[in-house]
Structure 1
Amino acid sequence: MFDIVGTSGDAFNMTRDYAVAMQREGVSIELKVYTNEAKAVEDFRAGLCDAVIATGFRTRPFNGVAASVDTLGSTIIVRNGVIDMTASYDVVRKLVQTFSADTPQVTRLMTDASGKYEVGGILPVGAAYLVGSDRRNNTVEKLAGKRMAALDYDPAQAVMIKRIRAVPVPSDITNISQRLSSGATDFIAAPALAYKPLGLDKGVGERGGVGRFPLMIMSYQVILNRSKFPEGFGARSRTYWLGQFDRVLQLIRKAENDIPAATWVELSPENTYRYTLMLREARIDIAQMGLYDKRGLKILKRIRCHVNPADPECQSKSEEVWQQP
């Protein structure tokens, strides 16, 4: 499992509790923690591990439906020009609940086409915010020409960065902090849980800030090699992680509260609406390019409209009926 701070991290502590709980299910799990996420996924693919826990960006190749939570704006709810984070996390919760149902239909969705891999859990790690070295760059127009870190294993990020006429800088989660503090990039996107562990405050300094506009809510996902676990274990595992939702939500909220109030950069209601529409248009285009899973986006659209039926998008068939590419 991946935890950038190793055995002292929250992700490792939660996974250790998971291993104890799964013993009661008759499954013995030996943990191996990686601070290099790419290596963790590589070892899993090579059969050196029976399961892997990593970010949704890394697990997308195993299951695009589950990784749809990690798509631009797909879980974000806006009401009266303000981001409603409680409702946004409710969208994520309902998605995790949907994917935790022990039914044949859900099992098919959570299993890849080869039948080898199954999603064993989804857990939010928080909203990804723009973290920059100059708080004056507080509109999309001002981002034109600026350098922004793009995870090189998630091509959708570079697509989005180019759409706003910024410059993508290929990066990895292990070096984005150094790129920001060294001036190699002007912006990165990261959740509050990464702010202290990655030392992002050094890159922000006195002039920078964190924009209070979530690009998405990121996730950690458990991927199982089905042949290594008992029949039906995937559903029991997903149910366990659903039960940890409120625990991790407390960690996320604490991390956001720990960022100094003066560091946050607020958006106007007009720009909040404008950027939400911008993310929606980008998400649809990126799905049409084949980089996002359309089935997952369709499920998320329905959940958003259940949570916030007054949103104008709920009067359209966008993300429900797709144009043929």
Structure 2
Amino acid sequence: MKLQKKGFVLAAGLLFALNVQAKQAFCVFDVAGKAGDAYALMKDYALEAKKWGADLDVKVYNDERVATEDFKAKRCDGVAISGLRGRQFNSFTGSIDAPGALPSLSSAIKFLQFLSRPQFAKEMIRNDYEVVGLIPIGAAYIFVNDRSINTVAKAAGKKIAVLDFDQSQKEMVQKMGAQPVTTDILSAGPKFNNGQVDIIAAPAVAFKPLELYRGLGTKGAIYRFPLAQITGNLIIHKDRFPEGYGQKSRLYVASQLPRATQIIGKLEKDIPAKYWLNVPKEDHLGYIKLMREARIDLMKSGRFDKRVLGLMKKIRCSEDPQSFECPLNDE
């Protein structure tokens, strides 16, 4: 009888363990903390995730590096970070943020929805990591502390902030004849604001949290010419989530992307008009060629995936079939 009773207790305990799932810690980088849009969107995402068999505990970080390191150490089961930092986990999705690859927010949304289809599911998995969502963050614009810096030639010798984990940015700045100053997302703002750097590239979402208006002062400007379309990645440790979670998540996130248009549009409109300057149309082609050369160089060095660059080129050429690059086959 004692053995039977002991066996019953063990069996009951096993059934309880199988039916009660521990929460998955999902760590979210949001420069604005709990007041930010990324955190708010992830709270909504957590409600949907229950339908896919996951119970998420959303934790917000205002330091992307710490969130990423906690994810690597498996203190986070999932993480929401920029595509630039997410490149270390998946070079396929990490190639989306290539300079000039997606000329508009609408083209970025179209491409992210395209990649969320089941046919790309295998590309979302690298070892233990799976990208379960691709989110647009907005265009990276050039912020200068002096609006007289209005050409690449005038940027020569100037100090430009580059992310410390992205060697490709440093190489691009050096090719321009400018001086790269390594930084991270949090310290880029203070360095620009106190004059340690003359130029930074940032999306509108960073304007208020990093107080970039301080660095712009009375002489600075934001050039309304997208350097790149910045994305966010939702990445998980695949073995800590239910089977099939990844594709369900990607499709849900893709369905929510039109919301991003409204959020990003409002963020850009909220920046005072006095800061915005347009790049003269006659200069557009020169910048487009410069970014194209940078993409190709980075592709040849293995930093960008040629397949992804080729797919994004198809989007650009569908929007502008007369572009000089469309007949070319080097991307």
Q: TM-score, normalised by structure 2?
A: 0.89
Q: CA deviation at 1:314?
A: 1.1
Q: CA deviation at 1:307?
A: 2.9
Match of 2:124 among 84, 93, 110: 110
Alignment partner, residue 226 of structure 1? 238
* Alignment check: 8 A CA contact 1:55 1:220 kept: yes
Alignment partner, residue 33 of structure 1? 60
May I ask how many residue pairs the two structures share in their alignment? Answer: 304
SS at match of 2:302: coil
Offset from partner CA, 1:56-109 (integer Å, 9 cap, x none): 111001111112221111101xxxxxxxxxxx2232122212221123xx1111
Match of 2:156 among 141, 144, 168: 144
* 1:301 to 2:313 alignment: yes
Segments ≥4 residues shifted beyond 6 Å: none
* 1:131 to 2:143 alignment: yes
Alignment partner, residue 18 of structure 1? 45
CA–CA separation in structure 2 for the residues paired with 1:299 and 1:228: 31
Q: Please, which moves more after superposition, 273-282 or 21-30? A: 21-30
CA–CA separation in structure 2 for the residues paired with 1:220 and 1:249: 14
Offset from partner CA, 1:137-184 (integer Å, 9 cap, x none): 111110000000000111111111111111000000011111011110
SS at match of 1:128: strand
Letter in 1 for 2:125: T
SS at match of 1:184: coil
Please list every run of 5 or more consecutive structure 2 residues that lacks an aligned counterpart in the other structure.
1-27
Letter in 1 for 2:115: F
* Alignment check: 8 A CA contact 2:105 2:139 kept: no
SS at match of 1:177: helix
Alignment partner, residue 84 of structure 1? none
Which has the greater radius of gyration? 2
Q: Please, which moves more after superposition, 92-101 or 53-62? A: 92-101
* Alignment check: 8 A CA contact 2:111 2:312 kept: yes
Q: How does 1:19-168 map onto structure 2 within 5 Å? A: 19-76=46-103, 88-103=104-119, 106-112=120-126, 114=127, 116-168=128-180
Q: CA deviation at 1:210?
A: 0.4
* Alignment check: 8 A CA contact 1:99 1:110 kept: no
Alignment partner, residue 81 of structure 1? none
Offset from partner CA, 1:256-275 (integer Å, 9 cap, x none): 11112121121111111110
CA–CA separation in structure 2 for the residues paired with 1:31 and 1:72: 31
CA–CA separation in structure 1 for the residues paired with 2:219 and 2:245: 50
Alignment partner, residue 211 of structure 2? 199
Q: CA deviation at 1:2?
A: 0.5
Q: How does 1:187-266 map onto structure 2 within 5 Å? A: 187-266=199-278
Q: Percent identity?
A: 41
Alignment partner, residue 82 of structure 1? none
SS at match of 1:95: helix
Please list every run of 5 or more consecutive structure 1 residues that lacks an aligned counterpart in the other structure.
77-87, 320-325
Offset from partner CA, 1:105-148 (integer Å, 9 cap, x none): x1111111x2x111101111100011111011111110000000
Q: What is the Cα-based RMSD across aligned positions, in Å? A: 1.1
Letter in 2 for 1:100: S
Alignment partner, residue 85 of structure 1? none
Letter in 1 for 2:30: D
SS at match of 1:215: strand
Alignment partner, residue 186 of structure 1? 198
Letter in 1 for 2:41: M
Alignment partner, residue 281 of structure 2? 269
CA–CA separation in structure 2 for the residues paired with 1:10 and 1:191: 14
Letter in 2 for 1:24: K
* Alignment check: 8 A CA contact 1:64 1:296 kept: no
CA–CA separation in structure 1 for the residues paired with 2:89 and 2:179: 29
Q: TM-score, normalised by structure 1?
A: 0.91
* Alignment check: 8 A CA contact 2:52 2:242 kept: no
* Alignment check: 8 A CA contact 2:29 2:80 kept: yes
CA–CA separation in structure 1 for the residues paired with 2:262 and 2:209: 17
SS at match of 2:185: coil
